[in-house]
Amino acid sequence: METFASWLVDVVQGFGYLGLFITMFFGNALVPIPVEAIMIPAGYLVEQHQMNVWLVMASAIFGDISGSLFSYYVARHFGRRFLFAYGKYLFFTHDKIEMLDKFFAGHGEISVLTGRLIPGLRHFMAFPAGLSHMNVKKFTTYTGVGGGLWMSILVLVGYVIGGNKALVKHYMPYVEAAIIGGVIMMVIWYVRRHRRKLREQPDGKA
């Protein structure tokens, strides 16, 4: 894994902003590349005045959204055909597809936003969104916001301590725990807001 991460850094350094875009694109379209392995070194290069922070963020977010849209459209156009043909072998029935459709119709925005902030899950949010035919503009917006927030934090980590791998390794679990804590708070706020709206509906206030 360390060798792979070093190769990613070489790609970014060798190809600059294009390399950043390419690695982010493929990290969301085909191979689930840990975004930390890309953005923390990029933050360090910003601190070393070898890259511009605004171009780093623009390249990364554009690559992130582009790769996610690739996965989204693959799932949107081919996902149902695949699941209708082979879903029974994966215990994914028509009823579960309908449940997914209903869930994303009502809660797609918060799911994509929070999912993009969770390491390990963020790479796969495009597939259920595309499968359920989530509105593409909303998907793009919440993918960009969630991904952009997470990448901004990683760039900051790289800027502050990116030159010390031991410190990065030590503090990253705390950073991830703080992000997950923030996600939990967002979900709690959303659930309370949603329940309040449901209670208000009979009174005609929603």
Q: Dump pLDDT digits (tens) for 119-141.
A: 778 888 898 899 888 999 999 99
Report pLDDT for 79: 77
In a domain, 68, yes or no: yes
What integer is the mean pLDDT of 4-28? Answer: 75
Both tokens of 166, joined, read 């031991």
In a domain, 170, yes or no: no
In a domain, 199, yes or no: no
In a domain, 180, yes or no: no
Helix (H) or strand (E) holding 66: helix 53-74
Instruction: Determine the structural domain holding residue 15 and report its residue range.
Output: 2-163
In a domain, 127, yes or no: yes
How far is Cα 124 from Cα 115, in angstroms, rounded to an integer?
A: 9
Whether the CA torsion 63, 67, 69, 70 is positive or negative: it is: positive
How far is Cα 120 from Cα 107, in angstroms, rounded to an integer?
A: 20
What's the total number of domains in the chain? 1
Report pLDDT for 166: 86
Residue at token pair 């690739």: 70
Residues 6+ apart with CB under 8 A from 188: none
In a domain, 200, yes or no: no
In a domain, 95, yes or no: yes
Among 88-92, 107-111, 141-145, the minimum mean pLDDT is found in 88-92
Report pLDDT for 163: 78
In a domain, 104, yes or no: yes
Alpha carbon dihedral 101, 143, 171, 17, in 10-degree steps, equals 150
Of 174, 155, 2, give the one whose Cα is nearest residue 64: 155
Residue 175 CA neighbour count, 13 Å, CB half: 21
- pLDDT classification of 41: cutoffs 50, 70, 90: confident
- pLDDT classification of 57: cutoffs 50, 70, 90: very high
Q: Which of 58-67, 76-85, 165-174 has the highest mean pLDDT?
A: 58-67
Q: Convert 103-138 into a string of H (helix), E (strand) and C (coil).
A: HHHHHHHHHHHHHCCCCCCHHHCHHHHHHCCCCHHH
CA distances from 83 to 125, 126, 158, 160, 205 (A): 17, 16, 41, 46, 40
Average pLDDT, rounded, for the chain: 84
How far is Cα 18 from Cα 174, in angstroms, rounded to an integer?
A: 31
Report pLDDT for 206: 44
Q: Quick check: 29 pLDDT over 90?
A: no
